[in-house]
C-alpha cells in the first residue's frame, strides 16, 4: 500500500463565458493534453480515470461514457463521480492509497454556459421533489435566504461581501485563464441590480465553460516522474441535509466538518497560522466569507480581516488569488478541481503575476452546487 500520493501533472482550459466552436470533448482533450505534457507522461502510463459530471447538465444519458477517449483511458478502469471535482479527486486519491492503481487521472468539465439554455430549471432538480422543487422559480433565491441569515447572524455587512467581488475580479485580471476579471469598486457592486435579495447582480459568479485534468501518482512513481511533486496531505468531504428546512441557515456546516477531517489527516492544529493560501468555490460573494469562518481560518468575522487586507494578494493569507468563481466563472462540477489546480500552481511557484511568495501549504474547497451544501476540502503541500 502506498503511504503518500502526489499531484504530478495539471492541465486546464481557459475559463470562458462561451465556447460555441468547441464541444465538451475538445475541452477535455485540451486539458488532458496539457496535463500529460506537464507530467511528461502519455495515456499509456495511466492506470485509471475518475471523471465527474451529471447527466442532467450534459444532456446525455450515461454522459461519462463519452469521456475516456479524450483522456486516453479507453479500456482502462474508469468511474463516474456525480459530485464536485474535489470529490472525484478524493476518490482518485483513495484509489491510489488502497494500492489498486499507481497513476490516476481526474477529469472535470463544464459546458453549461454554452449548452444549457434552461439552467435554472435543471438546477431545480437538486431540490427535494416533494417539498421544494414544486415551488419553482429561480433556485438562487435559496442563496439569497442563506446570505440574509448569514448577515443577520454575524457582524458581516453587505460592504464586506461587495469587497469580495472587488478582490476576486481584480485578482482575475492577473490570471490569463480567467474570463471575468474587472476593476471595480465597492460602490460599483452595491449599485448593481438587485438579483436575489440581498444578493446584487455583480455578487453572482457567471456561468462558465471549462475543463481540467489532474494526474495523481503513488509516492514511488511520483518521485520518478517529477522533481516538483505536490503532496496530498489531507482530504475531507461532507453533505448537509437534502432538506433545506433542516439546514443551519447562514452557516457552512459541511465545510466545517470536511475541514476538520482534512486538518486531522494533515496534522494541522492552527489553520490560521499554518495555511498559506486558500482557494474557495464561491458562487456568491458571501460564500467566501462564510467558508473562511467554517474553515477555522479566522476567529470572528472574516469580513473584518478582508477589510484589513489579510486576504489580498499582498496579505498574510491570500484567498482566491486565481479570481475564484467570481473572476473565473462558475463551472458546475469543475469548480473544485479548478481550485486544486490553482493551489498546485501556487505551490510550484508558477502563478506568474499573481504568485504568492513562500507558499508551503494550501487548502482548496469545492462545492457541489451553488445552492446545495455539499463538497470537499483538500489540503496540499510542497
**Taking the alpha carbons of 163, 361, 264, 254 in that order, is the dihedral positive or negative?**
positive
Q: How confident is the model at residue 301 (pLDDT cuts 50, 70, 90)?
A: confident
Domain termination residue (choose one: 230, 263, 286): 230
Long-range contacts, 268-274 (Cβ 8 Å, 24+): 268/234, 268/361, 268/379, 271/295, 271/296, 271/297, 271/363, 272/296, 272/297, 272/298, 272/299, 272/317, 274/361
Q: How confident is the model at residue 369 (pLDDT cuts 50, 70, 90)?
A: confident
Residue 241 pLDDT: 86
Query: Whole-angstrom Cα distance, residue 204 to residue 142?
Result: 13
Q: How confident is the model at residue 220 (pLDDT cuts 50, 70, 90)?
A: very high
The C-alpha cell that represents 165 in the structure block = 467581488
Q: CB 76: neighbour CB atoms within 10 A?
A: 17
Write the pLDDT tens digit of every residue in 305-353. Answer: 999 999 999 999 999 999 999 999 999 999 999 999 999 999 999 999 9
Same domain, yes or no: 92 and 68: yes
Per the CB < 8 A criterion, the answer to whether 380 and 347 are in contact is yes
pLDDT(126) > 90:
no
Mean pLDDT of the chain: 94
Which of 50-54, 217-221, 225-229 comes out lowest in average pLDDT? Answer: 50-54
Tell me the DSSP string of 149-192. Answer: HHHHHSS--HHHHHHHHHHHHHHHTT-TT-S------HHHHHTS
Per the CB < 8 A criterion, the answer to whether 338 and 109 are in contact is no
* Angle formed at CA 63 by CA 177 and CA 375, multiple of 5 degrees: 60
Same domain, yes or no: 66 and 96: yes
Write the pLDDT tens digit of every residue in 146-166. Answer: 999 999 999 999 999 999 999
Tell me the DSSP string of 261-305. Answer: HHHHHHT-S-HHHH--EEEE--SBHHHHHHHHHHTTSSSS-HHHH
Answer yes or no: is 217 within a domain: yes
Tell me the DSSP string of 316-359. Answer: SS-B-TT-HHHHH-B-TTTHHHHHHHHHHHHHHT--GGGPPTT-
CA nearest 187: which of 210, 158, 216? Answer: 158
Answer yes or no: is 287 within a domain: yes
Same domain, yes or no: 45 and 10: yes
Same domain, yes or no: 278 and 213: no
Same domain, yes or no: 149 and 296: yes
Residue 342 pLDDT: 98
Any idea what DSSP says for residue 134? G
Residue 140 pLDDT: 95
Write the pLDDT tens digit of every residue in 354-366. Answer: 999 999 999 999 9
Residue 206 pLDDT: 96
Q: How confident is the model at residue 58 (pLDDT cuts 50, 70, 90)?
A: confident
Same domain, yes or no: 141 and 59: no
Mean pLDDT for the stretch of residues 48-73: 87
Residue 1 pLDDT: 41
Domain count, the chain: 2
Query: Whole-angstrom Cα distance, residue 40 to residue 42?
Result: 7
Write the pLDDT tens digit of every residue in 69-116. Answer: 999 998 898 888 888 999 999 999 999 999 999 999 999 999 999 998
pLDDT(2) > 80:
no
Which of 61-70, 288-297, 307-316 comes out lowest in average pLDDT? Answer: 61-70
pLDDT(120) > 60:
yes
Answer yes or no: is 84 within a domain: yes
Same domain, yes or no: 337 and 240: yes
Same domain, yes or no: 35 and 154: no
Answer yes or no: is 124 within a domain: no
Answer yes or no: is 107 within a domain: yes
Same domain, yes or no: 236 and 282: yes
Mean pLDDT for the stretch of residues 179-208: 96
Answer yes or no: is 38 within a domain: yes
pLDDT(243) > 90:
no
What domain range includes position 292?
A: 136-206+232-381
pLDDT(268) > 80:
yes
Per the CB < 8 A criterion, the answer to whether 213 and 222 are in contact is no
Query: Whole-angstrom Cα distance, residue 157 to residue 105?
Result: 42
From its phi and psi, is residue 40 left (phi > 0), alpha (psi between -120 and 50) or beta?
left
Given the C-alpha cell 479548478, which residue does it identify?
A: 338
Same domain, yes or no: 106 and 226: yes
Residue 63 pLDDT: 80
Answer yes or no: is 181 within a domain: yes
* All residues at 6 or more sequence positions from 135 whose CB lies less than 8 Å from its CB, including other chains: none
Per the CB < 8 A criterion, the answer to whether 240 and 258 are in contact is no
Residue 56 pLDDT: 80
Same domain, yes or no: 259 and 151: yes
Per the CB < 8 A criterion, the answer to whether 291 and 282 are in contact is yes
Tell me the DSSP string of 182-210. Answer: ----HHHHHTSPEEETTEEGGGBPPB-BE
* All residues at 6 or more sequence positions from 52 whose CB lies less than 8 Å from its CB, including other chains: 80, 81, 82, 83, 84, 85, 87, 88, 106, 107, 108, 333
Answer yes or no: is 254 within a domain: yes
Mean pLDDT for the stretch of residues 165-182: 97
Same domain, yes or no: 28 and 99: yes
Domain termination residue (choose one: 230, 263, 287): 230
Given the C-alpha cell 465553460, which residue does it identify?
A: 209
The C-alpha cell that represents 217 in the structure block = 501518482
**Domain of 313: which CATH number?**
3.40.47.10
Residue 5 pLDDT: 97
Residue 219 pLDDT: 95
Amino acid at each position: 500500500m502506498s503511504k503518500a500520493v502526489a499531484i504530478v501533472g495539471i492541465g486546464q482550459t481557459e475559463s470562458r463565458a462561451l465556447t460555441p466552436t468547441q464541444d465538451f470533448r475538445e475541452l477535455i482533450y485540451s486539458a488532458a493534453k496539457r496535463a500529460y505534457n506537464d507530467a511528461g507522461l502519455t495515456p499509456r502510463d495511466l492506470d485509471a480515470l475518475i471523471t465527474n459530471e451529471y447527466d442532467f447538465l450534459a444532456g446525455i444519458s450515461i454522459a461519462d461514457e463519452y469521456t475516456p477517449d479524450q483522456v486516453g483511458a479507453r479500456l482502462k478502469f474508469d468511474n463516474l463521480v456525480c459530485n464536485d471535482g474535489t470529490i472525484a479527486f478524493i476518490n482518485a486519491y483513495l484509489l491510489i492509497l488502497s494500492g489498486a492503481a499507481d497513476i490516476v487521472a481526474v477529469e472535470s468539465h463544464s459546458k453549461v454556459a454554452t449548452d444549457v439554455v434552461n439552467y435554472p430549471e435543471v438546477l431545480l432538480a437538486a431540490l427535494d421533489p416533494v417539498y421544494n422543487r414544486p415551488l419553482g422559480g429561480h433556485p438562487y433565491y435559496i442563496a439569497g435566504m442563506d446570505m440574509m441569515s448569514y448577515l443577520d447572524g454575524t457582524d458581516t455587512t453587505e460592504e464586506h461581501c461587495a469587497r469580495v467581488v472587488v478582490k476576486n475580479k481584480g485578482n482575475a485580471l492577473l490570471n490569463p485563464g480567467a474570463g471575468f476579471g474587472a476593476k471595480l469598486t465597492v460602490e460599483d457592486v452595491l449599485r448593481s441590480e438587485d438579483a436575489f435579495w440581498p444578493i446584487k447582480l455583480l455578487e453572482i459568479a457567471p456561468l462558465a465553460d471549462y475543463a481540467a485534468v489532474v494526474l495523481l501518482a503513488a509516492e514511488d512513481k511520483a518521485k520518478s516522474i517529477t522533481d516538483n511533486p505536490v503532496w496530498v496531505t489531507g482530504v475531507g468531504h461532507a453533505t448537509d441535509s437534502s432538506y433545506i428546512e433542516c439546514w443551519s441557515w447562514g452557516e457552512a456546516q459541511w465545510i466545517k466538518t470536511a475541514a476538520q477531517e482534512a486538518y486531522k489527516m494533515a496534522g494541522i492544529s492552527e489553520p490560521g497560522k499554518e495555511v498559506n493560501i486558500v482557494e474557495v468555490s464561491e458562487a456568491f460573494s458571501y460564500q467566501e466569507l462564510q467558508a473562511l469562518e467554517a474553515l477555522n481560518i479566522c476567529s470572528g468575522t472574516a469580513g473584518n480581516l478582508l477589510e484589513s487586507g489579510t486576504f489580498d494578494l499582498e496579505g498574510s493569507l491570500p484567498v482566491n488569488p486565481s479570481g475564484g468563481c467570481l473572476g473565473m466563472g462558475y463551472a458546475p462540477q469543475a469548480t473544485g478541481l479548478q481550485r486544486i489546480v490553482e493551489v498546485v500552481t501556487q505551490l510550484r511557484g508558477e502563478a506568474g503575476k499573481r504568485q504568492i511568495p513562500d507558499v508551503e501549504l494550501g487548502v482548496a474547497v469545492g462545492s457541489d452546487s451553488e445552492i446545495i451544501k455539499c463538497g470537499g476540502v483538500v489540503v496540499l503541500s510542497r
